[in-house]
Chains A and B, each alone.
Chain A
Amino acid sequence: DVKVTQSSRYLVKRTGEKVFLECVQDMDHENMFWYRQDPGLGLRLIYFSYDVKMKEKGDIPEGYSVSREKKERFSLILESASTNQTSMYLCASSSDGQGVNPQHFGDGTRLSIL
């Protein structure tokens, strides 16, 4: 089974801090994604990556950056955390292979910015 592991289930940080959310997948997937989930809004794509050292902006990249130095790891960085970044963050990965390639998700990180 595909395993996507996010480093923390719950995280509390202060306004202005630099925050790192880590995600690791063990299935050699090419594609990795970061979403945030807010009530009534569903999941919104922040950044994604199709390969090592490659990144693309999603729908809501402002205030975030990402890093993909190794194929299995995709990090989300909040450069200077603000209270409106309090949310649930979900990491996902998928392959480029033939056939149906659903995204596989981690358990999520509930981030609170105080």
Chain B
Amino acid sequence: AQKITQTQPGMFVQEKEAVTLDCTYDTSDPSYGLFWYKQPSSGEMIFLIYQGSYDQQNATEGRYSLNFQKARKSANLVISASQLGDSAMYFCAMDNQGGKLIFGQGTELSVKP
């Protein structure tokens, strides 16, 4: 069965420092996609970054990068130069069944000034 695991319920980071949010996944399908979403306290889910299982390079989007280690089945999100506005819930998700997503439990990130 497909599964996404986020083992960090909460994280703290100092403003301007980098932080890594962990995500491991389990699937037997060779073709899949991995997504990260941000959910501020207001509730909306914001798409951040995507990594395909066949992509040769790690995905990057501005201050966000995805540390994709296929053999270890991990897809950690790295946020560089943290800002106060980065404080939010972060969800890792996997798509390998025609557009359906499976989500992890989420990690609550708090950025300290």
Contacts and interface: CB of A to CB of B under 8 A. Distances in A.
Nearest to A38: B105
**Binding site of B, secondary structure by majority: helix, strand, loop or mixed?**
strand
A42 B100 contact: no
A13 interface: no
B47 A103 contact: yes
| Size range of the chain B interface in the assembly | 20 to 34
B56 to A, nearest CB: 15
Contacts of A41: 105
Contacts of B37: 105
Contact of A94 (B99, B103, B104, B105): B99
Interface residues of A, number: 28
A65 to B, nearest CB: 18
B105 A42 contact: yes
A106 B39 CA distance: 11
A92 interface: yes
B43 interface: yes
